[in-house]
Amino acid sequence: MFGATDVAALTERFAAADIAFARVSDMAALGNHPHLRRIEVATPSGPVTYPAPAGHASGRDYGAVPALGEHTARVRQEFMPTDARAALNN
C-alpha cells in the first residue's frame, strides 16, 4: 500500500493526520529506536534485555527464563496418559 509512495510524502501525511509513526528501515534501527521499551530478564547464562510486551506495565516481574530441560519431567508427566501416570506412581 505504501511501497509506491515517497517516504517524505508519507511522513508529511501521517504528521498532518496526527498518526503516530516511526521510520524504521532495518533491525538495527528497530533495536535502537528511542520509543522501544525493553525489559531485563534473568537467564542461566546471565541477564538479557529484549523488547517489552505490548502494554507492558513498568515494575512487572516476568521471572527468569528456565534452563533447558528445567521443566521437562513435570511437563511430560502433566501430559502423560492417566493410566501411564498411575503406573509410574505405583
SS3 77: helix
C-alpha span between 43 and 16 (Å, rounded): 44
Look at residue 69 in the predicted model and tell me its pLDDT: 95
Look at residue 47 in the predicted model and tell me its pLDDT: 94
Look at residue 6 in the predicted model and tell me its pLDDT: 86
C-alpha span between 68 and 58 (Å, rounded): 28
* 77, 70 contact by CB (below 8 A): no
pLDDT in tens, the chain (90 residues): 667 788 888 889 889 999 988 777 788 888 888 778 888 899 999 999 888 887 766 677 788 999 999 999 999 888 888 777 777 666
C-alpha span between 70 and 74 (Å, rounded): 9
Q: Which of 42, 43, 41 is nearest to 52 (CA)?
A: 41
* 56-71 per-position pLDDT tens digit: 666 777 889 999 999 9
